[in-house]
Amino acid sequence: MQASQNADKWQWLEAELQRLRQHNLYRTLKVLEGAQSSHVLWQGRDMLMLASNAYLDLCNNDEVKRMAVQYILSHGTGSGGSRLTTGTSDIHVQLEETLAGFKGREAAIVFNTGFAANSGIIPALCSSADDVIFSDELNHASIIDGCRQSPGRTIVYRHNDMADLEQKIKATEVRGHGLIVSDAVFSMDGDIVDLPGLVQLAEKYNLLSMLDEAHATGVIGRTGHGTEEHYNLPGCVDILMGTMSKALGAEGGYVCGSQKLIDFLRNKTRSYIFSTSLGPGTMAAALAALQVIEREPQRVHRLQENVRWFCQCLRQEGLADNIPEQAATAIIPIHIGDEAQAVRVSDHLLAEGYFISAIRYPTVKRGQAILRAALMSSHTRQELAQAAGAIARAIAQS
Ligand SMILES: Cc1ncc(COP(=O)(O)O)c(C=O)c1O
């Protein structure tokens, strides 16, 4: 029997696609034709990239690429199995040791993606109906999915609101163990978690603390080591999760913590146990990126300086009300509101040579669409000043 004979069975799917189109929520791919860097090639045109998470421009870095190629030549392309079977080679171990050192922890474990890390470790840690997870309302989807996979209760607290969190902790009986989990740098708003407040509550109520440093590593802290460095609170978080797919320019999620925690996660996390591990080239790229960041903190300083400069330019262009008063990370949300207008502004900017994403529901709340500008250390001041002008014109004309 041919699969297409009964067209009726797909009607619901077409109806849903239609609904997405009607509400300006239908998504399509933009196909880049070369490397990810501050300039990219799209439809044969040179574009200024203002949407990438490759904050330190390491996807296309010579040293990182050379190390990846070297390991592909010596170790091959795939790992051939999950970590606990045949999928652990010396480069996996070296990367985990380096990550642990980078984050000042005893040990680290690498996952295939940041998504697999969050969605795997939360149900591994909170595996009983008696367990409770306290989760920020703006946490990343992978944390939300991790909470959904736990049999424990998830209690969502108001965004970065420690008073609300404390009230909810007090009102909750935790019969098993409790976990507070938060993005370190929120992936759409670009603001930073109130870490002193969060760890104080974790201590006071004997709860585990977990941070997702996807957008913090390589970005915040004097030398790019992340949130604990930013607040000068070394070692204060129990479970430090992150991803190598952003500032590190590679792929793969990780968790850093005590040896006991890492041993537990290796034995209990389904997304780690039942998935073929990442190949040697990717592991080598991440390792080289960490070495570059340790050796060249000036990349982080340039990124942080670019953030200050770009915000200044946006304010000078009359967009002070569209951006946060204090932007301190590489993610700068430019408030638009209406979904259709956000798409028009982004299309306008694409036509002008600027690659910048319109972020809409369900990634952000309905009616709160933004342009999500993401900066790189390699953007020049002139490029950013011109981009700020183009953004202001696009908003005015859309
Ligand atoms: C805060 C946050 N956590 C986790 C992830 C998932 O990481 P990955 O892209 O490596 O799966 C992302 C991004 O995609 C993210 O923004």
Give residue for tokens 């200050």: 308
Same fold, 25-54+297-397 and 62-295: no
pLDDT less than 50: residues of the chain: none
What is the CATH code for 62-295?
Answer: 3.40.640.10
120 CA distance to ligand 1 centroid (A)? 13
Q: Which protein residues are within 6 Å of ligand 1, measured from CB? A: 113-115, 118, 140, 142, 183, 187, 212, 214-215, 243, 245, 253
Which residue from 142, 182, 211 has its CB within 8 A of the most atoms of ligand 1, so it is best to mutate? 142
What confidence score (pLDDT) does residue 5 get?
65
Domains of the chain by residue range? 25-54+297-397, 62-295
Instruction: List pLDDT tens digits, range 156-208.
Output: 999 999 999 999 999 999 999 999 999 999 999 999 999 999 999 999 999 99
Alpha-carbon gap, residue 242 to 113, rounded angstroms: 9
Span from the CA of 126 to the centroid of ligand 1 (angstroms) = 20
What is the CA 240 to chain-centroid distance, rounded? 13
Q: Is 246 annotated as catalytic?
A: yes
- Residue 317's pLDDT is 97
Cβ–Cβ contacts within 10 Å for residue 3, how many?
6
Strands 331-337 and 369-374: antiparallel
Mutate to test the pocket of ligand 1, among 160, 243, 364 (most ligand atoms within 8 A of CB): 243
* Residue of 135, 187, 245, 275 marked catalytic: 187
Tell me what the pLDDT averaged over the chain comes to: 96
Question: What tens digit of pLDDT does each residue of 252-306 get?
Answer: 999 999 999 999 999 999 999 999 999 999 999 999 999 999 999 999 999 999 9
Which atom belonging to ligand 1 lies closest to the Cα atom of 244? 10
Q: How far apart are CA 342 and CA 315, in angstroms?
A: 19
Other beta carbons within 10 angstroms of residue 219's beta carbon come to 31
pLDDT (0 to 100) of residue 27: 86
Locate the ligand 1 atom nearest the alpha carbon of residue 243 and give its number.
10
- Model-level pTM? 0.95
Look up 215 and say whether it is catalytic: yes
* CATH fold group of domain 25-54+297-397: Aspartate Aminotransferase, domain 1 (3.90.1150)
Residue of 225, 246, 346, 357 with catalytic role: 246
Instruction: Give the residue ranges of DSSP H helices in 133-232.
Output: 141-149, 162-170, 195-204, 227-231
* 187 noted as active-site residue: yes
Report strand pairing: 354-355 vs 331-337.
unpaired
Specify whether the CB–CB gap between 343 and 357 falls below 8 A.
Answer: no
- CA-only gyration radius of the chain, Å: 22
Residue nearest to atom 16 of ligand 1 (CA): 187
